[in-house]
């Protein structure tokens, strides 16, 4: 699925096309339509963080989806991916057969900016006017033929990735582009701004002789050298050292001249491109003169209102947490009885012995337990996808933007942090949209504090076993409230942690957030389904196989070595004698002050592979310990379990302590690995593990010991 630029552009397959566009214009949705691949479609910037390729159905053309970007500058990691690829087009061998610029037809003026920048590379460019369904609803009419004539685009195609409109036409147009077309070199699509032309002339003239090597118009090069200090790096290989020095001094010279004329040279390209759009294209984009307040605006009057907005947000979250319990109850019971039945059947058929023990206690008892949580995970994924695709997630980010700047972060951090509720791994990757390096790294450090879906089974089993199902104040479901509280604990701690980072590692620059709220959109059922399918499948296969493997290893560790005269001992004595028992007892002194016994200690170790393994670990240990020969429900076993001196193992206080531990502890090897990769250093993942482990240990110590001092049990 992922193909490197060079393998695609190689001579064995010269037919590839790039898809570029602003964030949220529907690139990924279009890509999926064209290729039939089911990529995640999200309603906020920065979903596509990796280059993705896919072949158009029944065609030899390969498409590459790129991250969304407003322009070809290279400030954030995301923009740099696009900008680097575009820069490689100077070499003819790297040029795509065509570029598809996806444009949001409801937001033409801003979207056209990038289209003009791309057009100036003189590669056949197809402008796709996406979301044409919405544009029609808003009475925006666009004369596609006229737009094609004026911009000299290869084609302009109105389309709707949502309803499949225009898809066939895009494919046909792509197919009809002859191999190796050479477009005539065009004048850049810019308007000359008064006084500028003569000021920039020295730079432009200096670049003129290199025109053919650079494969890009000297005026655009000049403007970009003025706006972006890093741009020179793209040109170094085309100049000798002496020439480079001359070039740099020309840049300085021109900057000085422009400054003298009070021309803001950094935004020069922007102003001359927007002037072009205004002058040459303005009448092509006709808008209905009677502008009406859209549905989105009406909804936002309440949903992002300073007072009602946060209340609505809390209600939405409350509803979701409650749904996780109440909707999941029935399927969970069903799966539980299915597992019990399977276990009983296997127990009845198989003779007593190792195989029976492995199957019923190790595999069905351990790995099977995690299946029970599948409905809850699905419900969580469903709601997260719904929030994202509908556009509400972007509002959540918007409402929290102010708070973010108070704690030394910026609004762009919100989305990666919110994605952390699903899983830290894509969340850490999506932090790439944060331009400022410091803010990006601090955000990455905070993401693991957001309770990910893998922690859900641990929370819910503890809550189901030890929090009564009643209501607080007669209307608030108690279990959902505790669950929400646990999630908030992580969030509030992240705020504190951000403040501490701010103190010791202050932010140097203030990045204003230019996030534009996408309109509310009815999520595509198909897209929701694919997200649930993809994530559900990866939970069952990836997590499932880890859990299965660990369950088997654990069963072995908990069953061996056997003592002489094994049969005379009770199951409990046998398991305490086993490797797992020895390991658990070895670390017990460390975890005992937190209110955990040795079994929980073993669970804490095994859950490093994946947090939800905690549940299956306890399940395996309790099943092996149980003499009744029947698998018992984990909840009952936990409620009954006692220390040798008769005290209960799970008390309200130790349960609270355990939940707090799961909120704070950095028990996830995959997160460690992805942070190492994204920050390209060991320092950050080690810092994350270090601070979170200390935080977890100290908080649990405070909860448990403090609680006991106060007289709780
Ligand atoms: P990207 O950021 O450019 O990759 O945009 P996405 O493909 O993630 O789409 C952003 C949102 O727009 C999603 O909610 C899509 O369901 C929605 N969307 C995409 N194409 C269309 C379209 O043609 N019409 C409408 N109404 N919605 C669309
Ligand atoms: Mg995308």
Q: State in Å: Cα 131 to ligand 1 middle.
A: 7
pLDDT tens column, 388-415? 888 888 888 778 777 787 888 877 788 7
Of 161, 391, 516, the one to substitute when testing ligand 1's pocket (max ligand atoms within 8 A of C-beta) is 161
pLDDT, one tens digit per residue, over 372-384 is 778 877 888 888 8
Q: How far apart are CA 443 and CA 447, in angstroms?
A: 6
**Of 155-159, 207-211, 574-578, highest mean pLDDT:** 155-159
Which of the residue ranges 118-122, 452-456, 648-652 would you say has the lowest mean pLDDT?
452-456
Distance 24 CA to ligand 1 centre (A): 6
Q: Where are the domains of the chain?
A: 4-176, 197-281, 308-504, 542-709
Distance CA 282, CA 187 (A): 19
User: Are the CB atoms for 670 and 607 separated by under 8 Å?
Assistant: no
If one residue of 21, 26, 167 were mutated to test the ligand 1 pocket, choosing by the most ligand atoms within 8 A of its CB, it would be: 26
What number of other Cβ atoms are within 10 A of residue 230's Cβ? 11
pLDDT for 658 equals 95
Name the nearest CA neighbour of 199 among 219, 228, 224, 227: 219
Alpha-carbon distance 454 to 612, whole Å?
5
Q: What is the pTM assigned to this prediction?
A: 0.65
Cα-based angle 380, 382, 386 (whole degrees, multiple of 5):
115
Q: CA 602 to CA 190: how far, in whole Å?
A: 67
Closest residue by CA, ligand 1 atom 12: 26
Give the DSSP letter string of 335-373. HHHHHHHHHHHHHHHSPSSHHHIIIIIIIIIIIHHHHTT
Q: Which ligand is nearest to the CA of 528?
A: 1
**Cβ-based neighbours of 569, under 8 Å, separated by 6 or more:** 563, 577
Residue 463 has pLDDT above 80, yes or no: yes
Mean pLDDT of the chain: 84
**What pLDDT score does 447 carry?**
95
Q: Are 201 and 263 in contact (CB under 8 A)?
A: no
Distance 40 CA to ligand 1 centre (A): 11
Summarize the confidence of residues 665-683 as an average pLDDT: 85
Q: Give the C-alpha separation, 217 to 355, whole Å.
A: 74
pLDDT band at 494 (very low <50, low <70, confident <90, very high): very high
Which whole number is the average pLDDT over 543-567? 76
pLDDT at 40: 53
Q: Does ligand 1 come within 6 angstroms of the Cβ of 521?
A: yes
What local confidence, expressed as pLDDT, does residue 5 receive? 37
pLDDT score, position 44? 47
Provide mean pLDDT across the span 497-512.
Answer: 77
Q: What are 65-83's pLDDT values in tens digits?
A: 888 888 887 777 778 889 9
Q: pLDDT > 70: what percent of the chain?
A: 90
Q: Check residue 240 and give its pLDDT.
A: 92
Give the closest residue (by CA) to ligand 1 atom 19. 26
Residues near ion ligand 2 (CB < 5 Å) are: 27-28, 47-48
Q: Does ligand 1 lie within 6 Å of residue 46's CB atom?
A: no
Q: Residue 492 Cα, ligand 2 centroid: separation in angstroms?
A: 30
The answer to whether 119 and 145 are in contact (CB under 8 A) is no
pLDDT digits (tens, 9 = 90+) for 274-322: 889 888 888 887 654 444 556 777 888 888 888 898 899 888 888 887 8
Q: Residue 12: what pLDDT? A: 44
**Residue 46 Cα: closest atom of ligand 1:** 2
43 alpha carbon – ligand 1 mean position (Å): 7
Name residue, tokens 């994924």. 381
pLDDT band at residue 9, thresholds of 50, 70 and 90?
A: very low
Question: 578, 560 in Cβ contact below 8 A?
Answer: yes
623 token code pair: 């099943």
Contact criterion met (CB below 8 Å) for 539 and 377: yes
Query: What CATH topology corresponds to 4-176?
Result: Rossmann fold (3.40.50)
550-575 mean pLDDT: 75
């Amino acid at each position: 699925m992922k193909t490197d630029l060079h393998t695609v552009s190689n001579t064995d397959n010269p037919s590839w096309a790039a898809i570029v566009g602003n964030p949220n214009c529907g690139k990924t949705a279009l890509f999926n339509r064209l290729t039939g691949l089911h990529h995640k479609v999200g309603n906020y910037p920065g979903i596509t963080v990796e280059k993705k390729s896919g072949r158009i159905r029944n065609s030899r053309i390969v498409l590459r989806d790129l991250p969304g970007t407003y322009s070809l500058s290279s400030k954030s990691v995301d923009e740099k991916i696009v900008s680097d690829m575009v820069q490689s087009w100077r070499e003819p061998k790297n040029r795509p057969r065509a570029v598809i610029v996806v444009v949001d037809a409801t937001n033409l003026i801003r979207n056209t900016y990038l289209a003009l920048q791309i057009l100036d590379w003189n590669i056949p460019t197809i402008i796709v006017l996406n979301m044409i369904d919405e544009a029609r609803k808003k009475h925006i009419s666009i004369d596609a033929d006229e737009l094609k004539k004026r911009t000299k685009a290869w084609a302009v195609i109105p389309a709707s990735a949502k309803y499949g409109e225009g898809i066939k036409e895009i494919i046909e147009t792509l197919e009809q582009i002859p191999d190796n077309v050479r477009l005539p070199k065009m004048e850049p699509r810019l308007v000359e701004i008064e006084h500028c032309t003569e000021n920039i002339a020295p730079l432009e003239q200096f670049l003129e002789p290199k025109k053919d090597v650079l494969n890009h118009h000297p005026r655009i090069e000049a403007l970009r050298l003025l706006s972006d200090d890093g741009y020179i790096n793209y040109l170094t290989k085309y100049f000798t050292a002496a020439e480079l020095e001359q070039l740099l001094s020309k840049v300085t010279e021109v900057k000085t001249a422009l400054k003298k004329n009070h021309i803001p040279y950094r935004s020069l390209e922007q102003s001359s491109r927007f002037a072009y759009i205004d002058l040459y294209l303005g009448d092509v984009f006709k808008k209905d003169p009677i502008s009406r307040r859209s549905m989105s605006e009406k909804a936002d009057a309440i949903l992002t209102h300073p007072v009602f907005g946060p209340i609505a947000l809390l209600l939405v979250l409350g509803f979701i947490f409650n749904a996780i319990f109440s909707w999941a109850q029935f399927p969970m019971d069903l799966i539980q009885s299915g597992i019990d039945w399977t276990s009983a059947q296997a127990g009845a058929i198989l003779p007593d012995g190792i195989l029976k023990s492995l199957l019923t206690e190790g595999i069905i008892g351990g790995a099977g337990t995690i299946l029970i949580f599948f409905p809850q995970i699905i419900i969580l994924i469903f709601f997260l996808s719904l929030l994202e695709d509908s556009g509400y997630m972007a509002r959540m980010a918007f409402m929290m933007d102010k708070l973010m700047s108070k704690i030394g972060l910026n609004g762009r951090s919100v989305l990666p942090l919110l994605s952390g509720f699903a899983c830290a791994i894509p969340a850490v990757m999506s932090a790439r949209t944060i331009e400022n390096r410091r803010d990006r790294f601090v955000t990455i450090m905070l993401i693991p504090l957001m309770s990910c879906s893998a922690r859900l089974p641990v929370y819910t089993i503890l809550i189901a076993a030890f929090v009564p199902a009643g209501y607080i104040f007669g209307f608030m479901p108690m279990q959902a409230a505790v669950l929400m509280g646990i999630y908030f604990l992580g969030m509030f701690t992240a705020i504190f942690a951000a403040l501490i980072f701010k103190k010791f590692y202050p932010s140097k620059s203030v990045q204003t957030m230019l996030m534009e709220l996408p309109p509310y959109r009815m999520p595509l059922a198909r897209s929701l389904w694919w997200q649930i399918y993809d994530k559900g499948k990866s939970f069952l296969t990836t997590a499932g196989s880890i859990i299965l493997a660990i369950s088997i290893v654990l069963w072995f560790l908990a069953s061996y070595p056997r003592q002489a005269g094994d049969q005379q001992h009770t199951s409990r004595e046998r398991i305490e004698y086993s490797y797992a028992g020895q390991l658990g007892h070895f670390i017990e002194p460390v975890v005992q002050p937190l209110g955990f016994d040795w079994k929980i200690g073993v669970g804490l170790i095994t859950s490093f592979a994946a947090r939800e393994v905690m549940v299956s670990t306890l399940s395996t240990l309790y099943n092996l310990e149980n003499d009744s020969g029947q698998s018992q429900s984990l909840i009952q076993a936990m409620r009954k379990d006692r220390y040798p001196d008769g005290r209960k193992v799970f008390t309200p206080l130790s349960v609270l302590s355990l939940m707090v531990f799961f909120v704070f502890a950095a028990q996830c090897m995959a997160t460690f690995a992805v942070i190492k990769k994204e920050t390209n250093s060991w320092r950050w993942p080690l810092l994350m593990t270090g601070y979170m482990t200390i935080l977890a240990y100290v908080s649990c110590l405070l909860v448990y010991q403090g609680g006991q001092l106060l007289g709780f049990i």
